[in-house]
Amino acid sequence: MIKLFVVIFLSGCFETKAMTFAQAIKALHSHESVDSVRLKSKALDKEAESRGSWGDPKFKIAAKNFPKDSLKDDQTPMSGIEMGVSQKIALTTKYGNLESSFF
């Protein structure tokens, strides 16, 4: 009697349902694991785009060697105002690839 109960119980637990190929493809497209891999792929693409772009330019203005008393720029020959613009441009990706391999 117990054996019959176990067989009936187990047959109900292992009920399988057949799936067509189209249903399997539809299930794969809506599966959360596939969606997470797709989103990670898009995130890596966006990160690659941002790493490939240049940074913001930097503007610099500096007042150099002005006298303490008068602040006149014609009193000493070394005083003046320095202006500059700088931009970091990667000439090679060698060090960028090396840095990203550690993370």
pTM to 2 decimal places? 0.37
**pLDDT value of position 16:** 62
Cβ contacts of 19 within 8 Å, gap of 6 or more: 27
Are the beta carbons of 50 and 85 closer than 8 angstroms? no
- pLDDT class of 1 with cuts at 50, 70, 90: low
The 10 Å CB-count burial string (b at 16+, else e) for 22-40 is eeeeeeeeeeeeeeeeeee
Per-residue pLDDT reduced to its tens digit, 15-70: 567 788 888 888 888 888 888 888 998 888 888 777 767 778 899 999 988 888 88
Distance CA 53, CA 24 (A): 41
- Residue 95: pLDDT over 80: no
Per-residue pLDDT reduced to its tens digit, 75-91: 888 888 999 999 887 67
- Residue 103: pLDDT over 80: no
**pLDDT value of position 68:** 84
Torsion of CA 66, 70, 76, 79, to 10 degrees: 20
**pLDDT value of position 85:** 95
